Amino acid sequence: MPSTVTDEQRFELLVTSVRDYAIYMLDCDGYVASWNAGAQRFKGYLANEIVGRHFSEFYTPEDRAAGIPEKALRMAIEQGKFEGEGWRVRKDGTRFWASVVVDPIRDATGELVGFAKITRDISEQKQVQEALRRSEQQFRLLVQGVTDYAIYMLSPAGDVTSWNAGAARIKGYEHHEIIGQHFSRFYTEEDRANGLPALTLAIAARDGRVEREGWRVRKDGSRFWANVVVDAIRDDRGSLVGFAKVTRDITERKEAAAALDRANAALFQSQKMEAIGQLTGGVAHDFNNLLAVLSNGLQVLNSQSRTHLDTKMLETMQRAVERGASLTQQLLSFARQQPLKAEPHDLNKVIRAFEPMLQRAGDASIRLRMALDEDQTPVIVDAGRFETALLNLVVNARDALPDGGSIEVGAERVDVKDNTVGTLRAGRYVRVWVADTGTGMPPEVVARAFEPFFTTKEPGKGTGLGLSQVYGFIVQSGGDVEIHSKEGEGTTISIYLQAAEDMVESSGGYPAPVVETVLLVEDEPDLLAAAAELFRSIGYEVVTASNGTDAVDILKQRAEIDIVFSDIVMAHGMSGLELARQIRERHPHIKIVLASGYPLGVLRREHGDLSDFTFIHKPYRLADLAKALRAG
């Protein structure tokens, strides 16, 4: 049969049955006139508990004190509707976040008869929004608080739209100075001219990300080396909305890498020169012995000669021997095997006293000028050999000035940092330089300039030993030499010698040589003899033994042994390691250095732990040997 429920009854059933919304009526004064299931669920009141009571009971005490309920009704009357969000209170006193709509209800004549109020519990939505707000706030604080990275946003066109504290610190612009400005101002003029800023954004937009390193410019015009990452930012539809840009100042890292490269290059040069020096020194010693035999024989023959022709030929041969002896002395100087008479000298005084000789080395088309420091420049050096080295440099400079020009000789005290000049340690040094305005040298010539017999002069115009002699003398004196040259722009050669006061402060006085005695144990006779000469060349007294048993006997007889240097692998008798362990037990004060041509890993597998002793690989460089002897 047809339903007898009217439309009004259906509507009332609909409203009262809704559980997700609190839908109820208020009278004109704000008292509750109706109550649905949603209102009961949200607010906890049954209909008979709340109908007839004022709706302000749902508000917090602070809102009631502020007149918020009355204001809501008044705004609904004046504006036709009130809509808002806020805290509401349940019957049990708990709070929930509500979305509220209040509509005024009028009769057919327009007379106000009450209010319709719809309330929805959106606490979960509020919590999500609040969590999102806190997350965004924390992210903003994080980004703004970062000072080691410049983190900022760009518009699609490249204009700055945000700016953090790191960007202000690194680039020097405050927020109000840079927002809206194009990011290309951070690039160098060269990079802007080459279109690098636009290219960076184009690649980021195409690939999603680009990372580069290069020079960037601060507000004050200074430059820094930057690592830059640019990410394209797109919305949900994939449209480009801007770029995120992160810049880091890595100038210190770049400088450290450059310093390491310089140090490696200096070490390589030092090792190369050391190897050449060892070879050259050995050849020079042997050649000196041959020349001595020839010289002695020529003197004997000269005393017995009977004819003028014999005498003339013998004199010519003797001059050739003397010339050869002079060359070997230069080679020994390069190899740092010449005895030095090192004493304290003020280099300014030495150079001024030697100036007349330097002036005579030039000619009328060349002007020699002095640029000496007014302060004292004390160093410990062999003055005679220093004068020879300086004259060599001036003569080389003169030869680089075929059409005339100028040569400057200068001296100054300088502070050197680690690995900025060859392998010199940090400290106070005296720099002496000879600079010319001549033809200059290409890089490949500079790289070989100190090698013995290397020369760019025509045959017969030079031996190629001048600069090598200077290098050997200065390094033997504890210093180093640098060349700065460019073709067509001249050459500057700088000598660095440690300032004497630094040596006084570190040692309590001028350093005196300390001679130590080394017991050298080696079962190869030729190698034993050569090694003994090598040790003597760097200032050690040497006692030799051809096997471990002889070494033990020597140690029983001689108390002055300071260091034992032994080969590990010997063909007969005890090994070097067995010898070392006996010495360590019986003579704990003696330094022990072990050498072998076998890899350390192989030796450990065959002989056990070697960590108690200093180890050096054969063949060893002079620098490695000296270091091992000091540490052994």
Task: Give the model confidence (pLDDT) of 140-189 as tens digits.
Answer: 655 455 567 888 889 999 999 888 888 888 888 998 888 899 999 999 99
How far apart, in whole angstroms, are the C-alpha atoms of residue 518 and residue 507?
24
Rg of the chain over all Cα atoms, to the nearest angstrom: 46
Using CA atoms of 143, 144, 148, 149 in order, give the dihedral in degrees to the nearest 10: 50
pLDDT at 545 over 50: yes
C-beta separation of 123 from 97 below 8 A: yes
Report, as an integer, the average pLDDT of 587-614.
Answer: 76
How far apart, in whole angstroms, are the C-alpha atoms of residue 585 and residue 342?
40
Q: Return mean pLDDT, the chain.
A: 78
Closest-CA residue to 550 (of 574, 533, 567): 574
pLDDT at 535 over 50: yes
Render the burial of 382-401: b for 16+ CB within 10 Å, e for the rest: bbebbbbbbbbbbbbbbbbb
- CA 551 from chain centre, in angstroms, equals 48
Report, as an integer, the average pLDDT of 295-324.
Answer: 64
Task: Give the model confidence (pLDDT) of 466-497 as tens digits.
Answer: 577 677 778 777 888 888 998 888 999 999 99
pLDDT at 439 over 70: yes
How far apart, in whole angstroms, are the C-alpha atoms of residue 258 and residue 436?
28
| pLDDT-wise least confident of 162-166, 272-276, 358-362 | 272-276
Task: Give the model confidence (pLDDT) of 252-271 as tens digits.
Answer: 888 777 766 666 665 555 55
**In the chain, what percentage of residues exceed pLDDT 70?**
72
pLDDT of 254 reads 80
10 Å Cβ neighbour count for 512? Answer: 7
Report, as an integer, the average pLDDT of 503-525.
Answer: 61
Burial class (CB in 10 A: 0-12, 13-18, 19+), 37: middle
Residue ranges of domains in the chain, CATH in brackets: 7-122 (3.30.450.20), 146-249 (3.30.450.20), 263-334 (1.10.287), 343-507 (3.30.565.10), 517-631 (3.40.50.2300)
Element at 6 (helix H, strand E): none
Closest-CA residue to 330 (of 493, 468, 477, 454): 468
pLDDT of 474 reads 80
Report, as an integer, the average pLDDT of 588-601.
Answer: 77
pLDDT of 89 reads 92
pLDDT of 303 reads 55
| pLDDT-wise least confident of 445-459, 487-501, 568-582 | 445-459
Element at 296 (helix H, strand E): helix 251-304
In 433-561, where does DSSP find H-type helix?
Answer: 443-448, 466-476, 500-507, 525-537, 548-557
